[in-house]
A and B are shown apart, each in its own frame.
Chain A
């Protein structure tokens, strides 16, 4: 009986937690972001090397949907840095090998610049990269709680993906990262596809990334009491 009750309680918890999707548009979308990590290849990242990412924001969704990245007088950029490689591991036979690189540390910054000037100059770091992506007003900053890339040796168009979890910590719009009635910022989910196909990746960069950051708030749930939950099953 106790076991059955426990199962029912778990089911009830799942049911209560399964709220409607909070936001279907990415909070920040970019087109593109480019990764650079001198000394690394798409299939091998030496331990200790630093991954950096620069990108041009192309879209904003809630709660930043009041920003307009198409405004020609402004430029929104992202810069990720201090992502330190823990080395690449591989799995699979020679014909279908997957390569995974986990990174430790890492920070992310989003800027609003009133003097648009960012361009993906070749062979970074260079005088323009990342400098042109880090001028202006810091509107959001955070740290990565996790980050990885996954590549392979067999996809026709040389594609993989990367993903990371962000803890927002600062910036002019940091207060918007906490949902109404909460003092805790929602996590950010950094995600998207990678390609290392040379025809779409500028010289000196590792990957082109088509991705976004989601305002990844936990789905809503209603507070309740054990008594109320029990009555649901009586």
Chain B
């Protein structure tokens, strides 16, 4: 009887913790440029053997990350992604990438650090180095990374599952909120794209929000099963 009661209580707590639709909280917003290295076929994007990377700035961060954008520069670097499959649909190309990739955030003092500098034809002396100096505050693992590109207009987007796995601020994020997703727009039509970069990138990363739970008493819980 006690065992059954325990099972019921466990089921009850699970139900109380399961919301109808889990919300998602914006963790950070990023803007920069992507490139391929290695890049065996410079005129083609997402070709076999290439490596997909990106660098840029993180102008907006949100709790539970702790930040000071007045004193510090925040930058990102994603890497570790290689195309494993490509599907063409008319002018569209769907490119799937190997897992895991990484998306890392760095904090660098504006007064004593080195500002992120793109340069040309990355990788180069400043990119990625000037985007990965300072303190690694968050490291994320990317899985199921997929890029969708319209080759007729040079624009597209990417998406990926994201899981926070490291960095000095990892402990700020509760264990049950470390998974989420990231997405970004990618355009080849901006005239400000530095030479050698493929697209301008503007993206956001969301984390699962905590599941709502109602406070209760043992008496109330027992009453549910009487």
Contact = CB atoms under 8 A, between A and B. Distances in A.
A156 to B, nearest CB: 6
A191 B31 contact: no
Interface string B153-191: 101111101000000000000000000010111110111
Interface string A73-103: 0000000000000000001110011100000
Q: Which of A91, A154, A210 has the most CB of B within 10 A?
A: A210
Interface string A127-168: 000000000000000000000001010111101110100000
Given A21-B193, A96-B89, A193 B185 contact: yes
Interface in B131-159: 144, 146, 148, 150, 153, 155-159
B192 A22 contact: yes
Given A191-B185, A199-B24, A159 B195 contact: no
B1 to A, nearest CB: 41
B220 interface: no
A55 interface: no
A148 to B, nearest CB: 8
A160 to B, nearest CB: 6
Nearest to A195: B183
Nearest to A93: B89
Contact of B202 (A152, A159, A192): A192
A193 B144 contact: no
B90 A191 contact: no
A214 interface: yes
A18 to B, nearest CB: 7
Interface residues of B, number: 47
A58 interface: yes
A29 interface: yes
Contacts of B118: 21, 24
A91 B195 contact: no
Given A159-B157, A163-B155, A210 B191 contact: no
A218 B191 CA distance: 6
A25 interface: yes
A210 B29 contact: yes
B39 interface: no
Contacts of A211: 185, 202
B67 interface: no
A191 B203 contact: no
B126 interface: no
21 contacts: A22-B192, A31-B60, A31-B204, A59-B31, A91-B89, A91-B92, A156-B159, A161-B157, A161-B186, A163-B153, A163-B189, A191-B187, A191-B189, A191-B200, A193-B183, A199-B23, A199-B24, A210-B185, A215-B192, A216-B190, A216-B192
